[in-house]
Structure 1
Amino acid sequence: MSIAFLFSGQGAQYAGMGKELYQAYSEVKEAIDEAGEILGLDMAALCFDEDERLHWTPYTQPAILAFSYGLDQLLKNKGIAPNMAAGLSLGEYSALVSAGVLSYEDAVMLVHQRGTFMEEAVPEGKGAMAAVMGADNALIESICNQVSKQHYVQPANYNMPGQVSIAGEAEGVEEASRMLEEQGAKRVVPLKVSGPFHTQLLKPAADKLEAELKKYEFKPYTIPVYGNTTATAFKSTEDIQRLLVQQVMSPVRFDDMIRNMIQDEATTFVELGPGKTLSRFVKKIDLSANVMNVENEKTLTKTLESLTK
């Protein structure tokens, strides 16, 4: 059995995430408390209470990272270690921490800065995203190209067969959504996000992130980490830094990434962090994959029972 850890991305957060495990396990408590100390705020309250800041990108990203890292440490202390790792967008940083590339302390500050750059890149209301269900990738790409002649829009997330997110200028996303529905897409759903992530509109954020990344130490990885932009394993620490910059303004190729991990003999995927969106994606990509998630006591118990037989 070859285990792959998958780490949640932005959008998976919810009030109360991690509270049950925070109260029961020191690994989760320490990770969340330490993130709060680094950023000078009460991270536990941010995660557990009805706090609108949980949905502000500069805070969302370290909050999800903190919870994910706590789960990573908890499973490893229970004797469950990954053979490879990956994450969705923000989750890529959690995967790099799991693989020893970035220190947890550095990653908390780095994703806070990343979130700040992303939020500043496009004025509120100017950008949008939408999930397109039941349309061919080639059709989505063709329509985005057509619409972009007036209002910029592009595929942003290739999540799984039959689901692609598009993002760009609000007018472009609206027009592409209308055309896709007219040409047979089953559904197009606007997404509640603060910006057109993973598009060229985020280049100002990518430029700032490139300068910021130079301040941090990247160590050799202990396990392969698969990147969103190329869908393959990172080759070097220089490769990682370059692709983290690209990732902010390039489509996430989650579907291809999972297929490559399976080709490289991943048999069991464990999603760590809030929600089970990635688990659902993996099942749609390959029905034979063994998939589980950990976000509370119930899912932790189920995962431990399955992996420690």
Structure 2
Amino acid sequence: MAKIACIFPGQGSQYVGMGKELFATSWGKEVFETGQRVLGEEFIQILLEGPEEELKKTANTQPAILLTSVAAWRGLQEAGIRPDYFAGHSLGEYSAYVAAGSISLEDALKIVRRRGELMQAAVPEGKGAMAAVLGLENVKVEEACRKAREEGNWVVGAANYNSPGQVVISGESSGVQKACHYAKDLGAKRAMPLAVSGPFHSPLMEKAAKDLRPVLEAVNWREPSAPVISNIDAEEVKERRSIVESLVRQVSGAVLWEQSIRYLGEQGVDTFIELGPGKVLSGLVKKILPSVTLMNAEDLSSLEKLLAYLKESR
């Protein structure tokens, strides 16, 4: 029988006004009010009205995407949809745990706000960078980073294995720049800097990871209702004791997204539902598993289309 995985986007998918329609629904209103209570009126105004520069700040982006993603999930939940697996890209892994019932929305919002603050403060502005390397095999991207480390003793390495031919690298600005140079020498089609506020998923985030641990440990985690695929090792998390460790490691470790999606395909998942702003993950999944069905929900029209499809197909 066909299997469904719900997947949740990470930083970079945000836009001003996202989730507005969902927050106005009966189920979304509760989500919205929780966000308002936990994070305050100023945060809600930034989410719905901007300015965009404020929304782009990591400490605002992370809870904003989480809130929107959970509102979309609640729409599926109201319709009685029960997926077989959950997964999220970086920040999206927290949305996955909320959907799986492992953590309350209130606790998750507090954690990701603090996570965003710690990640934003971990490295002085301008000292770190990220870049997307396109059209190059994973092993050659890793070779480019290794050459850069050997040349200048810089911190640089793979941060996101997004899809075949798309790997994001992260680390010290000079190291990332040099690794991009080597990547082009090794045959990359493009190697372009990303507009981010820090070198996420690199060893430069180790202090942020260390400081996040007690925040995570203070929460009452529960076993997920269905397996959540961990970013850090592309394996199923079924027990609550594994959750904190995987989320701590995720801050400074690489996101194994391509590997996670391939694993889900091996388990028989043939329908992927992206819940939250944008369709970035749907595009990546299509490159990894071209034959699967892809749906998304980020507003009322896309949610209604998704629910109609699921009603007909199941």
**Same fold, TM exceeding 0.5?**
yes
Q: What residue is the counterpart of 1:120 in the other structure?
A: 121
Identify the residue that residue 215 of structure 2 maps to in structure 1.
212
What is the CA–CA distance in structure 1 between the aligned matches of 2:133 and 2:301, rounded to whole Å?
32
The equivalent of 1:147 in structure 2 is: 148
**Within 5 A, what are the aligned runs for 1:5-154?**
5-23=6-24, 25-51=25-51, 52-149=53-150, 150=152, 151-154=154-157
Give the drift of 1:40: 2.2
Farther off after superposition, 140-149 or 270-279: 140-149
SS in 2 for 1:6: strand
CA drift of 1:42 comes to: 4.0
* TM-score, normalised by the number of residues in structure 2: 0.95
- Taking the TM superposition and a 5 Å limit, the aligned residue runs for 1:249-268 are 249-268=252-271
**Given residue 160 of structure 2, which amino acid in structure 1 is its aligned partner?**
N
Q: Which residue of 2 aligns with 1:225?
A: 228
Matched, 1:285 2:285: no
CA distance in structure 1 between the aligned counterparts of 2:296 and 2:147, rounded to whole angstroms? 39
Q: CA deviation at 1:15?
A: 1.1
Aligned match of 1:203: 206
Q: Give the conservation status (yes or no) of the 8 Å contact 1:32–1:63.
A: no
Q: Give ranges in structure 2 of 5+ residues lacking alignment.
A: none
Instruction: Render the CA deviation track for 1:209-238: whole Å, top value 9, x for unaligned.
Output: 112112111111111100000101014212
Identical columns (%): 44
Answer with 142-151 or 107-116: which moved more: 142-151
Among residues 302, 305, 314, which one is paired with 1:299 in the alignment? 302
Distance 1:54 1:10 in 2: 11
**Amino acid of the structure 2 residue aligned with 1:255:** E
Deviations 1:98-145 (A, max 9, x none): 111111111010111111111111111111101111001111101101
Stretch moving more, 276-285 or 260-269? 260-269
- CA deviation digits over 1:70-94, x for unaligned, max 9? 1111111022221110000000000
Q: In the TM superposition, what is the alpha-carbon distance from 1:196 to its structure 2 partner?
A: 0.7
Of 213-222 and 85-94, the range deviating more from structure 2: 213-222
Q: How far did 1:44 drift?
A: 3.5
Does the CA-based 8 Å contact 1:71-1:294 persist in structure 2? yes
Map Cα deviations across residues 226-271 of structure 1 (whole Å, 9 max, x no partner).
Answer: 0000101014212111111000000000001011111112111000
* 1:191 paired to 2:191: no
Letter paired with 2:50 = E
> How many residues end up aligned between the 2 structures?
308
CA distance in 1, matches of 2:33, 2:125: 31
Task: Report the Cα offset of residue 188 of structure 1.
Answer: 1.3
CA drift of 1:10 comes to 0.7
Q: Secondary structure at the match of 1:165?
A: strand
> 2:148–2:182: 8 Å Cα contact kept in structure 1?
no
State the alpha-carbon separation in 1 of the partners of residues 191 and 143 from structure 2.
16
TM-score in terms of structure 1 length:
0.96
User: AA paired with 1:171?
Assistant: S
Segment drifting more, 105-114 vs 45-54: 45-54
Report the alpha carbon displacement of residue 17 of structure 1 after superposing the two structures with TM. Answer: 1.0
**Offset of residue 43 of structure 1:** 4.0
The answer to whether the Cα contact below 8 Å between 1:33 and 1:42 also exists between their aligned partners in 2 is no
Q: Give the SS at the match of 1:132.
A: strand
